[in-house]
Structure 1
Amino acid sequence: MNPIPWQRPVPMLCGLTAATLLVAAPLAAQAETFPSKPVNFVVPFPPGGPTDAMARTLAVALTEALGQSVIVENKSGAGGNIGADMVARAKPDGYTIMFGTSGPLAINQSLYTKISYDPATSFAPIIRVGHLPNILVVHPKLHASTVQQLIAQDKAKPASLNYASSGNGASSHLAGVLFNQKAGTQLQHVPYKGTGPALNDLLAGQVDMTFTDILTAMPYIQSGKLKAIGVTTDKRSQAMPQIPTIAEQGLPGYDVSVFFGVVAPKGTPADRIATLNQAFRKALASDKVRSVFAAQGLEPAPDHSPQALGRFISEEVGKWKTVVDASGAKLD
């Protein structure tokens, strides 16, 4: 018996539907399974420093949030440029990301004469984690205890005061350049090879002051070996809320800190950026990560969206170009 005519197309339609489903299924599975292998978390600085410590704290929480191992890889050199360049050139699949700071993500573009990436265009922003405030501290021999007293002392005898930094182009150097710009002072820069040597000479009274991170300075402030003049960020530090900011002492707009942000190579799919962003949000909200970062003095970012980090990087690049140009500092 022959089939009824209207029944004949049915097998063909069913076959087409099945074929369509077979093609669509792997695509859907591919989209749903990211990440399906370990994620490489690049730190563009050596092991043992504060950036490395924060990255390793995050990696543990991210491994749980993503369901895949997050492996920290230290790729140091050229102030963070070597690691940043490696990530900028990596395959944009979400499996290579970087824990960057103010250097490679803002300052270095103006500071280094040879740089192979653009922090504002070579990366896909994932999340701004937060920032570490610095603090201006002086040797007790200085009579100044406030920003205005310090400015008055410098202007009474121009170029008589100096400040130590951890090196040319470091945030502790550029903080002094910005201070001179805002205050009209002539503080003289004395570069050292690292924070330790700079702090040792300050404690010995060989230099007058320095801009350093709050956690490093805190025990010396509490013991009276150093005097705190002001916090360098636009808001007071949660670690030492009793210390006023430099901005609120007559230098509005003065804001210097080391910020931390996570980026991926440009072209990384938006859905993978979203997955990573949500994992970082979950990690940053965990009690363990929050307590560790608070103990390290980290101030959380006000906005964790990828778009907020992208805007912030662009603003910081422009801001530090002006300061670096004024400082005259250049590195190869």
Structure 2
Amino acid sequence: MKLVKTLSAIGLALSAHLAHAQAWPERNLIWIVPFAAGGPTDGMARDIADRVAKQIGQTIIIENAAGAGGTIGATKASKANPDGYTFLVGHMGYMGAGPSLYKKLAYDPVKNFEAVFRFPDTPLVLLVGANSRFKSVAELIAEAKAKPDTINFGNAGVGSTSHLIAALFEAKAGINVQPVSYKGAAPAMNDLIGGQVDAMFDQSNTALPQVQGGRLRAIALTSLTPMPQQYPGVAPLADKVLPGFEAATWYGLYAPAGTPKDIVQKMHQAYMKALSDKAWTAKMSSMGIHLLSDAQYGPDAFAKHTASEVEKWRKVVADAKISID
């Protein structure tokens, strides 16, 4: 008799859960963006959120929870109710390299989150000043090998994407350069233009105006394929110089662990419908954003990508001895 009652209770709970999930969404959703409003992550998140909101029929509110390299917002999202109304806009920094960069992290990017969908990637471009002595990445590597620790690379801060990619570049090229950390990409870019630093990695979309304006010169891409529309004549590092080299600033949407799978799937389906707008995706591509295959956007593929990135950056961070308290 007790077994029957127990099974009945489980059945009722499951029915209630399914009914709730089927009715979703009944109110506004929150996407936590762990950076300040107005930045590139915030801008991309708002653009995608507006388009997904139209598909699900509810408003998506962007909540900026900046601080500690994005880990404050990620921690908040990891502790949210997994009811399908709170999500995290993830970034390679705090969801890929975070476990290696921070000695004390209150969340696990793999265990504490459900991957929902991946945004298009943003490759990086290796930049030098317009009047730099380096005309190619081969020349830069050759000098770095001949004169170790004499070439300096600007970056947006310790543990930033530009810092991490430069460390990966060092390891793959077998060179040693001097990192120069700034409080943000803008001051680093200004010193690169002014000749105070020798080189820098920056996102392909944000670097494009400076390159097109002739203030900086692009000498390599971190994508596997060229970007002839945006960076004509600029070859990927993987093309002859560093075979297999690939890196990008990646973003995506996560939900707290335990969020119903059917809600995750509904969010993914809404996103894929938004991506069917060819004018929108063409605009992103023209800005230097790299579109992925449909399969790469999905929850399972994004979960695997997250796990692989955690392991990838673990070695890079350890070898480069990068640490953030």
TM-score normalised by length of structure 1: 0.88
**Cross-structure match for 1:221:** 211
* 1:29-68 alpha-carbon deviations (Å, 9 max, x no partner): 4342111111111111110011111111122212210011
**Cross-structure match for 2:25:** 35
The structure-2 alpha-carbon separation of the partners of 1:120 and 1:24, relative to structure 1 and needing over 3 Å to count, comes to: closer
In structure 2, what residue type is equivalent to 1:212?
D
The structure-2 alpha-carbon separation of the partners of 1:80 and 1:250, relative to structure 1 and needing over 3 Å to count, comes to: same
Shift of residue 292 of structure 1?
A: 4.8
**Cross-structure match for 2:72:** 82
* 1:80-111 alpha-carbon deviations (Å, 9 max, x no partner): 11111111111111111111110121111110
Larger radius of gyration: 1
The structure-2 alpha-carbon separation of the partners of 1:287 and 1:154, relative to structure 1 and needing over 3 Å to count, comes to: same
1:149 to 124, 128, 139: 139
The structure-2 alpha-carbon separation of the partners of 1:292 and 1:36, relative to structure 1 and needing over 3 Å to count, comes to: farther
Percent identical pairs in the alignment equals 38
In structure 1, what residue type is equivalent to 2:234?
I
**Cross-structure match for 1:68:** 58
**Cross-structure match for 1:310:** 303
Matched-pair contact (CA < 8 Å) for 1:136–1:230: yes
Query: Which consecutive unaligned segments of at least 5 residues does structure 2 have?
Result: 1-11
Whole-angstrom distance in 2 between the partners of 1:27 and 1:98: 22
Matched-pair contact (CA < 8 Å) for 1:125–1:310: yes
**Cross-structure match for 2:5:** none
Report the secondary structure of 2:121's partner residue: strand
Shift of residue 141 of structure 1?
A: 4.0
Query: Which consecutive unaligned segments of at least 5 residues does structure 1 have?
Result: 1-21
In structure 1, what residue type is equivalent to 2:230?
A
Shift of residue 295 of structure 1?
A: 4.7
Query: Within 5 A, what are the aligned runs for 1:20-169?
Result: 29-169=19-159
Query: Within 5 A, what are the aligned runs for 1:136-285?
Result: 136-237=126-227, 239-285=230-276
Whole-angstrom distance in 2 between the partners of 1:271 and 1:43: 23
Shift of residue 318 of structure 1?
A: 0.5
The structure-2 alpha-carbon separation of the partners of 1:23 and 1:85, relative to structure 1 and needing over 3 Å to count, comes to: closer
In structure 2, what residue type is equivalent to 1:322?
K
**Cross-structure match for 1:14:** none
> CA-atom RMSD, angstroms?
2.1
Is it true that 1:293 corresponds to 2:284 in the alignment?
Answer: yes
Whole-angstrom distance in 2 between the partners of 1:23 and 1:133: 46
Shift of residue 23 of structure 1?
A: 11
Report the secondary structure of 2:154's partner residue: strand
Matched-pair contact (CA < 8 Å) for 1:139–1:209: yes
Whole-angstrom distance in 1 between the partners of 2:23 and 2:166: 49
Count of aligned pairs between the two proteins: 311
Is it true that 1:329 corresponds to 2:322 in the alignment?
Answer: yes
**Cross-structure match for 1:12:** none
In structure 2, what residue type is equivalent to 1:138?
V
Report the secondary structure of 1:299's partner residue: coil
**Cross-structure match for 1:15:** none
Whole-angstrom distance in 2 between the partners of 1:28 and 1:267: 14
Matched-pair contact (CA < 8 Å) for 2:89–2:254: yes
Shift of residue 239 of structure 1?
A: 3.0
In structure 1, what residue type is equivalent to 2:20?
Q
**Cross-structure match for 1:18:** none
Report the secondary structure of 2:43's partner residue: helix
Report the secondary structure of 2:119's partner residue: strand
Whole-angstrom distance in 1 between the partners of 2:286 and 2:31: 23
In structure 2, what residue type is equivalent to 1:270?
K
Whole-angstrom distance in 2 between the partners of 1:131 and 1:315: 16
Whole-angstrom distance in 2 between the partners of 1:295 and 1:262: 23
